[in-house]
Amino acid sequence: MNPTDFSAGAAWQRGAFVPIANASVPLTDWGFLRSDATYDVVTVWDGAFFRLDAHLERFARSCARFRLDPGRTPGEITDILAQCVRLAGLRNAYVEMLCTRGQPPWGSRDPRQAVNQFFAFAVPYVWIANEEQRARGLNVIVSDVQRIPPSSVDPTAKNYHWNDLTMGLLGALDAGGDSVLLTDAHGNVVEGPGFNVFAVRRGRLVTPREGVLEGITRRTVIEMAGALGIPVDLRALPADELRTADEAFLSTSGGGVLAVTKVDGRAVGSGRAGAVTQRLQETYWAWHRDPRYSTPVAY
């Protein structure tokens, strides 16, 4: 592996920038051994970070929630992220910041004795739906796998406790779906692997209030809806209500607003991306050009 070839992406680890293929987390780091870590993902589009401040704020909150300390100020983290993007020469990028527990002294099981570690990387922009899926809309399967309850793992702090999401996703893919939504103990849909969900009913948006990561793209959709005069209800969303919605879509940093045209293989509404979904899609990408939300990378 060429130690100076950043063409596939760049990472920051243990005080140095390395090609993404050379990046690693030590085997004994509790971030690997116990999923004891937090992270956040910000995107770069047309050479500018989108809503970087919001992602940095959420990363800080997640670190505080899990009693982790990245040992870097927001300004220092910004500089590291920007340098990863510059080294990789990316105009559109998926950029991740991570803080792991690290490793306590051998023989200790006290997480307070671990030295927390900060990592970062930038790779080409990642879509959670391919071009064909984006054109026709997604077929999302509602899984019988329940999401980890908030009383066990706080979903508002971004984490790697994904086994429930992974098992649900495997089942959905085996059933011919494109992705999956998990439910809570009451049969309400909550979230999927890397995205929030919205239903459109009689011109109103409905999205789960509890049991979900408060995604930055979810927040952006809610703010766009306010600007466009579209009412939003934050409440429980029963699976049957999603199935009978007029429209449905996902919100994610990996693609913005993505239409859901089938749930469990059956058409939602007309079976095509609806007018509200399309309007939000257009607004989402337009906001990337708004200086209020963009932070240019100094190439």
pLDDT digits (tens, 9 = 90+) for 83-113: 999 999 999 999 999 999 999 999 999 999 9
Q: How confident is the model at residue 1 (pLDDT cuts 50, 70, 90)?
A: low
Query: Does 3 have pLDDT greater than 80?
Result: no
What is the Cα–Cα distance from 241 to 23, expressed in whole angstroms? Answer: 44
Q: Put the strands of the sheet holding 294-296 in their side by side order.
A: 16-19, 10-13, 117-124, 93-100, 37-45, 48-50, 294-296
- Nearest partner of 118 among 103, 104, 105, 100, judged by Cα: 100
* Residues 6 or more apart in contact with residue 168 via CB below 8 angstroms: 143, 145, 180, 181, 182, 192, 193
What is the Cα–Cα distance from 248 to 259, expressed in whole angstroms? Answer: 6
What is the Cα–Cα distance from 171 to 143, expressed in whole angstroms? Answer: 8
**Per-residue model confidence as pLDDT tens digits over 44-94:** 999 999 999 999 999 999 999 999 999 999 999 999 999 999 999 999 999
- How far from chain centre, in Å, is Cα 191? 11
pLDDT value for 4: 83
Task: State which H helix or E strand residue 222 sits in.
Answer: helix 216-228
What is the Cα–Cα distance from 144 to 207, expressed in whole angstroms? Answer: 19
Q: Quick one: tokens of 246?
A: 């007029």
* Under 8 Å between Cβ of 145 and 280: no
Q: Quick one: tokens of 136?
A: 């026709």
- Nearest partner of 224 among 146, 156, 285, 149, judged by Cα: 285
Phi, psi (rounded to 5 degrees) for 131: -60, -40
Query: Across the strands, what pairs with 49?
Result: 44, 295
- How far from chain centre, in Å, is Cα 60? 16
What residue ranges define each of the domains in the chain, with the CATH number in brackets? Answer: 10-124 (3.30.470.10), 131-287 (3.20.10.10)
Provide the 10 A C-beta neighbour count for residue 71: 12
Where are the strands (E) in 77-166, listed by range?
A: 93-100, 117-124, 138-146
Query: Does 166 have pLDDT greater than 90?
Result: yes
Mean pLDDT of the chain: 97
Question: pTM to 2 decimals?
Answer: 0.95
Query: Across the strands, what pairs with 257?
Result: 251
What is the Cα–Cα distance from 158 to 55, expressed in whole angstroms? Answer: 11
Query: Does 261 have pLDDT greater than 70?
Result: yes
